[in-house]
Structure formats: structure tokens, C-alpha cells
């Protein structure tokens, strides 16, 4: 059985970089380390957003933020922001009242063939074009994300 493909949103990467404190950093890193190898991708949009968050919220020097962005780009495949991704994102912004940048990430995840978008910015359980948003920081988690992290059931 092929593992579920997932996209990782900016907020998870920012947490892993420590922008929301040590406890969130530990939780984000544990999540990322728990993902099966080869299942995760990043939308190019997330890397630009991460740079911005690290400099503005995290207080990092731009050169240090660039190093962090490059490390994440090296760690996961990066899915480009195409004209089609933008077109579908604007549809989401209009039809579902999503912010344009969240919609770009969700649209890129769909185009990349992801089943999950791991994010705390969108409504947990929201599904669009076969991609379901899973907030990894909710107490109950999301069943699809739990299943991915725990692996196939024994039987």
C-alpha cells in the first residue's frame, strides 16, 4: 500500500524553527520526524512565507532565515507555484472565502497529488479537491494524520 502523500504548511515549519516556543518546536519536529519517508512535499509558497515569518516574527537576520529556508528546501521536494495553481487558488479565495496565500498552498497540494495538508491555519477537516486539512496541534488530532503517523494496522 502506497503511503498517503502530504503537504506541510508554513506554520508547521515555523513552529519547527522555534517561532512559537520550545513546546511547539518539539511537537512540530516530532510530527515531521514521524512522517514516513518520501511522503511529504512543500509548496514553493511555504518557503517564501517561512522566510518572512522567520525575519519578521522570529527576529532572524535575513541570511539566517535564508539558511533555514534552504535547509527545508533540501529536506523535502518542493512543488512549484504554477499559473494553474494560482487560478485554482483564486477560485478557492472566492468560492470558500480562503485567504489567497492559504489557497495557493492548498491548490499546490492538490496539484501535487497530496491527500493531506498539515496546517493549523485552515479549518481542521476541510477538504478540497481530495486534500484534507489536518491540524497536527489539536488535542484529538485528525484520523488521517494519526493513521499516517502510526502506520498500517496490524492484522
> Which CATH number does the domain housing residue 108 bear?
3.40.50.1010
Which residue reads 491555519 in cell numbers?
A: 121
> Is residue 154 in a domain?
no
Contact 25, 16 (CB under 8 A): yes
> Is residue 144 in a domain?
yes
Separation CA 80–CA 76 (nearest Å): 13
DSSP H or E segment with residue 10: helix 10-16
DSSP H or E segment with residue 79: strand 78-79
Residue 8 has pLDDT above 70, yes or no: yes
Range of the domain at 70: 6-148
Q: pTM value?
A: 0.90
Q: Let me know how many helices (H) and strands (E) the chain has, helices first.
A: 7, 6
What pLDDT digit, counting tens, does each position of 110-155 carry? Answer: 999 999 999 988 888 899 999 999 999 988 878 888 888 887 544 4
What pLDDT digit, counting tens, does each position of 19-45 carry? Answer: 999 999 999 999 999 999 999 999 999
> Is residue 153 in a domain?
no
What pLDDT digit, counting tens, does each position of 71-112 carry? Answer: 999 999 999 999 999 999 999 999 989 999 999 999 999 999
Amino acid at each position: 500500500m502506497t503511503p498517503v502523500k502530504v503537504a506541510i504548511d508554513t506554520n508547521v515549519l515555523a513552529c519547527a524553527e522555534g517561532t512559537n516556543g520550545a513546546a511547539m518546536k518539539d511537537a512540530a519536529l516530532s510530527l515531521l520526524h514521524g512522517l514516513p519517508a518520501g511522503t511529504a512535499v512543500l509548496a514553493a509558497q511555504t518557503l517564501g512565507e517561512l522566510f518572512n515569518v522567520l525575519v519578521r516574527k522570529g527576529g532572524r537576520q535575513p541570511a539566517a532565515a535564508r539558511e533555514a529556508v534552504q535547509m527545508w528546501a533540501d529536506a523535502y521536494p518542493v512543488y512549484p507555484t504554477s499559473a494553474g495553481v494560482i487560478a485554482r487558488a483564486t477560485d478557492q479565495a472566492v468560492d470558500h472565502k480562503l485567504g489567497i496565500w492559504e489557497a495557493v498552498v492548498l491548490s499546490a497540494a492538490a496539484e501535487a497529488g497530496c491527500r493531506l495538508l498539515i496546517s493549523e491555519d485552515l479549518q481542521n477537516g476541510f477538504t478540497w479537491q481530495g486534500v484534507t486539512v489536518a491540524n497536527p496541534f489539536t488535542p484529538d488530532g485528525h484520523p488521517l494524520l494519526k493513521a499516517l503517523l502510526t502506520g498500517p494496522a496490524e492484522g
